[in-house]
A and B are shown apart, each in its own frame.
Chain A
Amino acid sequence: MTGPQPNSSAGDASRRSRKRRELALILPLCGAIVFASPVMDMFTGSTTSLGGKVAYIFGCWITLILFGIFLSRLLRPEVGNK
Chain B
Amino acid sequence: MLSFNVLLSVCLVYVAILFLVAAVSERRANAGKLGFLQSPVIYTLSISVYCTAWTFYGAVGSAARNGLDFVAIYLGPTLVFLGWWWLLRKLVRIGRTQRITSIADLISSRYGKSSSLAVVVTVLSVVGTTPYIALQLQSLTLSFSVFTVDLQNAPPPQYTALWIAAGMALFTIIFGTRNIDANERHYGVVTAIALEAIVKLLALVSVGIFVVWGVASGPADILSRIDVDDFPTQHLFGARWVSLVFLSATAIVCLPRMFQVVVVESSAERHLATASWAFPLYLFLMSLFVLPIAIAGRDILPAGSNPDLFVLTVPLAANRESLALFAFLGGFSSATSMVIVAAIALSTMVSNHIVLPLWLYFSQNRNSATSDVRRLLLRSRRISIAGILILGYLYYIFTGGSDALASIGLIAFLGVAQVLPALLGGLFWKNATRVGATSGIVSGFVVWMFTLLLPSFNGAFLLSPETLQYGLFGIAALTPYALFGSEISDPLVHAVVWSLGINTALFVTTSLLTIPCAIERLQAVQFVNVFDRSISSRTFTSSGTPEELLVLAQRVLGRDEAYKMFEQESQLQGRTDGLPEASNEFIAKLERQFAGSVGAAAAHAMISQVSSGEAVSVEELIAVADETAQIMEYSSRLESQSKALAETAQQLTQANKQLQELGDQKDHFLSQVSHELRTPMTSVRSFAEILRDTEELDDEKLRSFSSIILDESVRLTRLLDEILDLSFLESGKVQLRKRRVQLDSIVERAILSSQTLASQSGSQVILEPSVRLYSLYTDPDRLAQVLINLLSNAIKYGTNDDPVVRVNARLTRTELMINVADNGPGIPKEAENQIFEKFARLSHASSAGSAGLGLAISREIAKNLGGDLIYVRGRHGSVFRIILPMVSSRIRKNG
Contact = CB atoms under 8 A, between A and B. Distances in A.
B563 A75 contact: no
Interface string A42-79: 00111000110110011001101101110110011001
Interface in B226-250: 226, 231, 233-237, 241-242, 245-246
A58 B619 CA distance: 52
Contact of A53 (B68, B80, B273): B68
B237 A40 contact: yes
Contacts of B234: 46
A17 B752 CA distance: 99
B85 interface: yes
A82 interface: yes
B609 interface: no
A80 interface: yes
Contacts of A38: 237
A67 to B, nearest CB: 8
A39 to B, nearest CB: 8
Contact of A80 (B270, B570, B579): B270
Nearest to A32: B79
B539 interface: yes
B86 A24 contact: yes
B3 to A, nearest CB: 39
A3 B578 contact: yes
A30 B273 CA distance: 19
Given A41-B236, A51-B223, A28 B284 contact: no
Interface string A9-45: 0000000000001001101110110011110110011
- The winner among A2, A36, A67 for most chain B CB atoms within 10 A is A36
Interface string B71-110: 1000100111111111001000000000000000000000
B284 A72 contact: no
B273 A79 contact: yes
A31 B801 CA distance: 107
B547 interface: yes
Interface in B270-315: 270, 272-274, 276-277, 280-281, 284, 288, 291
Given A3-B578, A46-B235, A64-B280, A28 B567 contact: no
Contacts of A1: 563, 567, 578
Interface residues of A, number: 43
A31 B82 contact: yes
B645 interface: no
A79 B89 contact: yes
Contact of A3 (B86, B237, B566): B566
A3 B236 contact: no
| Interface residues of chain A: helix, strand, loop or mixed (majority) | helix
Nearest to A38: B237
A71 to B, nearest CB: 7
B78 A4 contact: no
B655 interface: no
Nearest to B579: A3
Contacts of A37: 237
Contact of B83 (A2, A25, A41): A25
Contacts of B576: 2
A79 B284 contact: no
B273 A45 contact: no
Contacts of A80: 270
B538 interface: yes
A69 B226 CA distance: 34
A54 B68 contact: yes
Nearest to B245: A36
Contact of A54 (B83, B86, B291): B291
Contacts of A57: 68, 71, 75, 236
B188 interface: no
B722 interface: no
Given A2-B576, A61-B75, A79-B272, A50 B226 contact: yes
Contacts of B696: none
B565 to A, nearest CB: 11
Given A24-B86, A27-B83, A68-B276, A45 B235 contact: yes
Contacts of B281: 65
Contacts of B276: 68, 71-72
Nearest to B277: A68
B425 interface: no
A44 B538 CA distance: 46
Contacts of B245: 35-36
Nearest to A72: B273
A31 B696 CA distance: 132
Contacts of B274: 72
Contact of A28 (B82, B236, B237, B272): B82
Given A28-B80, A57-B68, A58-B288, A2 B86 contact: no
B242 A36 contact: yes
B779 interface: no
Interface in B586-630: none
A68 B269 contact: no
Contacts of B223: 50-51, 54
B79 A61 contact: no
Given A38-B237, A76-B270, A68 B82 contact: yes
Nearest to A2: B578
Contacts of A58: 284, 288
Nearest to A31: B79
A45 B280 CA distance: 25
Contacts of B714: none
26 contacts: A2-B578, A4-B550, A4-B578, A27-B82, A31-B78, A36-B79, A36-B242, A36-B245, A37-B237, A46-B233, A50-B68, A50-B231, A50-B233, A51-B223, A53-B68, A57-B75, A58-B284, A61-B78, A68-B81, A68-B276, A68-B280, A69-B277, A71-B276, A72-B273, A79-B273, A82-B269
Given A2-B567, A79-B270, 14 more contacts: A2-B578, A3-B578, A4-B578, A21-B85, A31-B78, A36-B242, A44-B235, A45-B235, A50-B223, A50-B231, A54-B223, A57-B68, A64-B78, A72-B273
